[in-house]
Amino acid sequence: MSVPDKFQGFQSPSAEHWTDFQKNSFEPRPFGEYDVDIKVECCGVCASDRHTISGDWGGCPYPLAVGHEVVGKVLRVGDKVTLAKVGTQAAPMLCAGITVYSPLKRLGAGPGKKVGIVGIGGLGHYGVIFAKALGAEVYAISRSRAKEADARKMGADGFLATGEKDWTKGHEMSFDIIINTATSFEGFALSEYLSLLDVHGHWNSVGLPGGDGISIRNQDFITNGCYIGTSHLGSRREMLEMLQLAADKGLKSWIEEIPISKEGLQQAMEALKTSSVRYRSCMTNYEEAFGA
């Protein structure tokens, strides 16, 4: 199959009208010797897509088409590309999967470790799945118990609802690792979460909320001497390890398929806003929308 001279996509026109998606054509940059062209078959919807086109993370050039969790087939490779070839299927659990797998693996999640996953959404559901697959004891941590049944089906051994009174009671200084995937810091009492960590435990934030962030005091973590850090995606080696783990253990993403269109994209963005997606929206029907 030949590669078209122009690409098509649904673009957001401005931060003020960011959900008024318009189907447009545009010229790609010149194809380089290290480039790979992929025919998109479907694409996951990441919270970063919403943060970007809404201006939540600051200004960006418009019109703008987002979407980076691409699944498809390789149509063309540059002369110096060695890790892909024409016809290869490209279907990684990216970026959500690697975003949580990388810190879990680096921080030693596995047998004998107790891991907490804060926020059971697109990132968080992968966190539960991968932490369990690595052999850890896993607790899902969410504002309410609305997602408890699903979290347990994903592999969670326990569930904590932060909206309940004394929700940390009985769990203080018992977690080795907590991965925070929350996309909002509204009403977020960081000191309560840090109190869950054992001595020299690890708090790792991978969610990227907009706004002014969150304040932290030394008193919040001096008792247990916990480590506070963050992580961004992962290495190619970790990606390959993650995909092999998923293949070996038959791990599946929990997705909701939505045919790509202006209305479909608006539906996906609203689901992100209201945290109602279970657990990753995936845009489909690309051939119907853009042609073969």
- CB–CB of 254/279 below 8 Å? yes
- Could you read off the pLDDT of 164-185 as tens digits, one per residue? 999 999 999 999 999 999 988 8
Helical H segments across 46-87, by residue range: 47-53
Look at residue 91 in the predicted model and tell me its pLDDT: 59
Residue 2's pLDDT band, with cuts at 50, 70 and 90, is confident
Distance CA 243, CA 241 (A): 6
Closest of 8, 7, 10 to residue 267, by C-alpha: 10
Distance CA 132, CA 179 (A): 13
Q: Is residue 89 predicted with pLDDT exceeding 70?
A: yes
Task: Specify the long-range contacts of residues 262-270, CB closer than 8 Å, at least 24 apart.
Answer: 262/10, 262/20, 262/21, 262/22, 262/23, 265/10, 265/19, 265/21, 266/19, 266/21, 268/45, 269/19, 269/45, 269/49, 269/50
Domains of the chain and CATH, by start: 7-93+253-290 (3.90.180.10), 96-230 (3.40.50.720)
Look at residue 29 in the predicted model and tell me its pLDDT: 93
Mean pLDDT to the nearest integer, 124-134: 98
Distance CA 226, CA 117 (A): 16
Crossing angle for the helix pair 96-106 and 122-133, nearest 10 degrees?
40
Residue 210's pLDDT band, with cuts at 50, 70 and 90, is confident
Cα 32-36-42 angle, rounded to 5 deg: 140
Mean pLDDT to the nearest integer, 114-138: 98
Cα 146-148-153 angle, rounded to 5 deg: 135
Q: Is residue 15 predicted with pLDDT exceeding 60?
A: yes
- Could you read off the pLDDT of 30-46 as tens digits, one per residue? 999 999 999 999 999 99
Look at residue 290 in the predicted model and tell me its pLDDT: 93
Q: Is residue 90 predicted with pLDDT exceeding 80?
A: no
- CB–CB of 256/277 below 8 Å? yes
Q: Is residue 48 predicted with pLDDT exceeding 60?
A: yes
Q: Give me the chain's average pLDDT, please.
A: 94
Distance CA 54, CA 229 (A): 27
Closest of 9, 28, 6, 127 to residue 70, by C-alpha: 9
Mean pLDDT to the nearest integer, 256-277: 95
- CB–CB of 99/86 below 8 Å? no
Mean pLDDT to the nearest integer, 191-203: 98
Share above pLDDT 70 across residues of the chain, in percent, rounded to a whole number: 98
- Could you read off the pLDDT of 226-245 as tens digits, one per residue? 999 999 999 989 999 999 99
Mean pLDDT to the nearest integer, 203-214: 87
- CB–CB of 138/117 below 8 Å? yes
